[in-house]
Structure 1
Amino acid sequence: MFSRCVLGVAAAVWACGTAGAQHAAQVIASGPLTTASSAVYLSPAEIDAFSGLPRETIYLDAFRERLDQVMARQETVGLAVAVLEHGEPVLVYVGGEEAAGSGRPIRRDTLFRAASVSKGMSATLLALLEHEGRLDLSQPVPNELLPLPRGQQANALQLLSMRTGLPSHAMDRQMEGGQNVSLLRQRLDTLRPACAPGECYTYQNVAYASLEVIAAQAAGLDFSTALRAYLFDRVGMHTATVGAAAMRASDSWARPHRRRDRDDDGNPLPGDPDTVYDSVPAAASVNVSIDDMIAWAQAQLGTSGLLPQSVLDRVHTPQGETPSQTRRLYRLSERIDNTWYALGWRVYDWNGQTLLTHSGYLSGYGAQIYMEPETGFAYVGLWNMDGDAPWWLFPTLMDLRMVDGPADWLDQLDED
């Protein structure tokens, strides 16, 4: 029920026409915003301002209907989604509540848990520190920081790309059982290796936490402060924070709603945001709003110009194939031909399109980002409930955007 659950549904799903922007803009003008949902579209003039951005946006209208379809489900509490074309947001959708029954609507600055989407942020921080000459990611991680079986060493690139040679999710169960992460990391050398460092892909959380020490030493700041100083402030993630305590201190934050916590009528009940994964902030502990995610996508697409291209190349370059991830895609195998892992990012070959992506799951929260840097397209999504439907929004969007797809993923979910 923690980040490892991304290997289930979450990993399987990352998981135009004539109705133009004038019609889309009227959606918001036709009545008052409600707690149920709201959408903000660019005006026709704003769309015209972006060179090459198509006036025809019927796929956004159709996608808005799918978003409303998800919001109508009983298990749905809060949802925030944005779509970018040519690096600019053409749809921002927020719906539902911070907590079921609270009457406090999800806003553009409402914080959600980013979960494993945090990994790409940590990787970019390390790449920025390398860009400034503060560290070298090709150097081995010291054994006292990351002890590996048989006395082997992995460098930071291998750690960031999940190629340490450790078995998948090494010591995650023990961490979820409440054991100290620093002590668990010192026991990694007692495990049976899956391969030699650099030779295979195995997903990690406890080992990934070694990056917090590396970043702190290079920046001369604690890890959370370094994220703020070197990354969040730089790219315009103005409300992003790290950890549950910081989340509670914000003006608007979404409570988690877990599948097991229901009232007598089956309606979701709010919980608290604390998780053992706060003990591995580099892997899973960032909090973000939808506006933070838009800024994050623009920085990674390169359209905002706020990150050096050499840093983007560093984190986006695949380090190796991830056949185990490809096998877990299930229904999406007809869309995705191959997968890789870069530095804190997954790379998908989606019917010939190269997409950078990562999903995140913490009990009661979900987060996703998909990007195509070549065109400036991006999708970002955040939600505060367990449930399968939000995970199928992105493949639905891709089918609608490419026109020739069936876009029936949510219908299939109901049939199941």
Structure 2
Amino acid sequence: MRTLLSVSAGSFLPAFEGGSNDPNTSVSAHERPNFESVRSLIFQAIAHGKATGVAVAVAHGGSIVWEEGFGWANREAGLKATARTPFTLASITKPFTATTLMTMAAEGKLLLDDAANKYLMKSGIQGANENADAATVRLLGAHVSGLPTMFEGYDRDEAKLALGPGELIRNYGRLAYSPGSCYEYSNIGFAALAVIASNLTGMDFGTLMTQRVLKPLGLRDSFFDSSVARLSAGAARYDPSDNPIPYYTTSTPASGELYASAHDLAHFAMFNMKNHLPRRAPILDDRWIDELHKPVFVGPSGVATTFGWFTGHLESGASVLFKNGGQPGVATSLYMLPSENLACMVLTNRSDGRELCSEVCNQVLASYSPEWRQPEETAGPSSAAFVVTPSFSGRWMGTLVNDDAKMPVRLNIESSDSATLALGDKPAERITGMQSEGVAFTGVSTGGIDSADALRTGAKTLKIKLISHEGKLVGRILATAGNPDVKNVMLPYVITLQRPSE
């Protein structure tokens, strides 16, 4: 480990001092904070077994002022992390997906405020709980279309089980909530955006993103993971105990399967801050970049979703544009202060890297802007103890659907701390962890769902989220299983409940 740390420090010091491997990048060493304390923080995390590989970049004033890699990108292969190592971005893929769609909007191929179903064709969103045509393209990219959350990873032996994007929308593309009314982080929404883009162009989405975003912006280290030949150059993924996680893909590639280096991500940040860099094609003019960043849904804390991003504000009113990513073996962060033309990004290949990402970005950004405060990472409401109200109390009956499942559901909310859920003809199970999230009721129960995916994965822990809508309770049940640090699944099933007639 000492050898690795010394090599890491020596190999990348030139970039820290002002050098760059990219001839198109002008790296300024003037008026730059001293990053030694941040480097020490990362070295200590690696030495104490709290990180495996880390890559950092800082962009300021239209150039990269620091980029460096630390530790192992792939320890088993002897591959060290550098500023040019491609890491899985996880959900930082989403701004790239949104940018791909925005290039099509700029060309007049689609309208962001059109119904998504206008472009989804045979893979249309279904409106089990609301009019599906109210789910627009823009709402899909802002996590407020009404589609629920979802995640599943497939190892190499399971890859054949992964659904194509169109089939996934047909199986799981049902609205759980009224479009625009409720924030829920939705990977399915970005799968739908990929289907729209492919329908309009006839191209595989990874190829489309490469042609429209990655190549024009000169992001040579970046690739969609359908580029199998390039995977060996990318960072492997590790669990919190520093054990390698076998390679996997996910159920929604357009939401999280882009690989990029810290160097490339810095250039993407500079593009988003309207720096017109030499030898970079102007894929969007300033008007369309503004459209990417325009708030769509503002949460209680003031954090808002945009088309692919989140945005918050400092006390002075200065805007913060950001996106984080996390999944087994991945934790990533990107924060931008456009008013300062400043961005910090951290990529790690560990499930538990989120805290380190935050510490690094917070130190870097505070060294430039003393008022820096990290925004909340969600536009959703905070949780509180559930207090039963007449709109939720009592007995409810209805149906659960998705993935060919169609099951009777019985819910009984007796009090603020007592409720049960029954699926099909099974006995009722107690709901624990009852909470309120804004206007939503949430809780956890258990039960078997008669769908192919739930049976295959053994997903029997049920996470419930319901809101009151026109005298009914509508929402979803997530059937979950596994360890989110290693391998896990969250399958969404839409439910509509009403009071039984007496």
TM-score, normalisation: structure 1: 0.74
**207-216 or 300-309: which moved more?**
300-309
Aligned counterpart, 1:253 = 234
- 8 Å Cα contact 1:124/1:311 also seen in 2: no
Q: Kindly report which structure 2 residues correspond to 1:270-349, keeping only aligned pairs within 5 A, or say none.
A: 270-275=244-249, 277=250, 279-304=251-276, 306=282, 307-323=284-300, 326=301, 338-349=302-313
State which drifts further: 97-106 or 349-358: 97-106
The answer to whether the 8 A contact 2:46-2:71 is kept is yes
- Tell me the secondary structure at the aligned position of residue 368 of structure 1: strand
- Tell me, yes or no, if structure 1 residue 401 matches structure 2 residue 368: yes
Q: 1:247 to 1:68 in 2, by over 3 A?
A: farther
* Structure 1 stretch displaced more, 58-67 or 103-112: 58-67
Count matched residues: 343
- Taking the aligned partners of 1:399 and 1:140, their CA distance within structure 2 comes to 42
The alignment's C-alpha RMSD in Å is 3.1
Which has the higher mean CA deviation after the structures are superposed, 142-151 or 80-89?
142-151
Matched, 1:269 2:243: yes
5 Å-filtered alignment, 1:41-120, equals: 41-43=16-18, 55-100=30-75, 102-120=77-95
Q: Distance in 2 between the 1:208 and 1:403 partners?
A: 35
Cα pair distance change 1:376/1:58, threshold 3 Å = closer
Cα distance, 1:114–1:339 mapped onto 2, change above 3 Å: same
Give the whole-Å Cα distance in 2 for the aligned partners of 1:187 and 1:255: 31
The 3-state SS of whatever aligns with 1:235 is coil
CA distance in 2, matches of 1:120, 1:367: 13
1:6-405 map, 5 Å: 34-35=7-8, 38-39=12-13, 40-43=15-18, 55-100=30-75, 102-142=77-117, 144-149=123-128, 150-153=130-133, 154-167=135-148, 169=149, 171-172=150-151, 180=163, 182-188=166-172, 193-194=176-177, 196-243=178-225, 246=227, 249-250=230-231, 252-259=233-240, 262=241, 268-275=242-249, 277=250, 279-304=251-276, 306=282, 307-323=284-300, 326=301, 338-352=302-316, 353-387=318-352, 388-403=355-370
* Offset of residue 43 of structure 1: 4.2
Moved runs in structure 1, 4+ residues, more than 6 A?
A: 173-179, 404-407
Residue range with higher mean Cα deviation, 391-400 or 311-320: 391-400
Higher normalized strand content (fraction of residues): 2
Q: Equivalents in 2 of 1:316, 1:218: separation in Å?
A: 23
Contact 2:314 2:372 in 1 (8 A): no
Rounded to whole Å, the distance in 2 between the matches of 1:219 and 1:184 is: 19
- Report the Cα offset of residue 247 of structure 1: 5.4
User: Unpaired segments of 5 or more residues in structure 1?
Assistant: 1-31, 45-49, 263-267, 327-337, 408-416
Of stretches 307-316 and 340-349 in structure 1, the one that deviates more from structure 2 is 307-316
Give me the identity figure in percent. Answer: 22
Counterparts of 1:137 and 1:241, CA distance in 2 = 26
Of 220-229 and 149-158, deviating more is: 149-158
Question: Structure 1 or 2: larger helix share?
Answer: 1
Whole-Å separation in 1 of the counterparts to 2:174 and 2:107: 36
Larger deviation, residues 180-189 vs 353-362 = 180-189
Question: How far is the alpha carbon of 1:405 from its aligned partner?
Answer: 7.7
Q: CA deviation at 1:190?
A: 5.5
Aligned-partner SS, 2:343: strand
Structure 2-normalised TM-score? 0.62
Task: Decide whether the 8 Å contact of 2:198 with 2:204 is kept in 1.
Answer: yes
Work out the CA distance in 1 between the residues paired with 2:60 and 2:299: 28
For residue 283 of structure 1, what is the amino acid of its counterpart?
S
| Structure 2 unaligned blocks of 5 or more | 20-24, 375-502
Q: CA deviation at 1:392?
A: 2.4
Alpha-carbon offset, residue 97 of structure 1? 1.2
Distance 1:108 1:134 in 2: 36
Helix, strand or coil for the counterpart of 1:91?
strand
The 1:406/1:371 distance shift into structure 2, 3 A limit, reads closer
- Aligned equivalents of 2:146 and 2:102: distance in 1? 22
Inter-CA distance 405–71: structure 2 relative to 1 (3 Å threshold): farther
Mapped contact 1:247–1:287 kept (Cα < 8 A) = no
Q: Deviations over 1:175-231 (max 9, x none)?
A: 99967465453244666x33x212332210123201111111233422111101111
Higher relative contact order (CA 8 A, sep 6+): 1
Whole-Å Cα distance in 2 between the matches of residues 270 and 66 of structure 1? 23
Contact (CA 8 Å) 1:201, 1:321: kept in 2 or not? no
SS in 1 for 2:37: helix
Q: Which whole-Å deviations, capped at 9, do the CAs of 1:37-62 have from their partners, x for residues lacking one?
A: 73423549xxxxx99x8934344333
SS of 1:359's partner is strand
Q: Cα offset for 1:310?
A: 1.8
Contact 1:112–1:384 (CA under 8 A) maintained in structure 2: yes
Offset at residue 71 of structure 1 (A)? 3.1
CA distance, structure 2, for counterparts of residue 174 and residue 274 of structure 1: 6
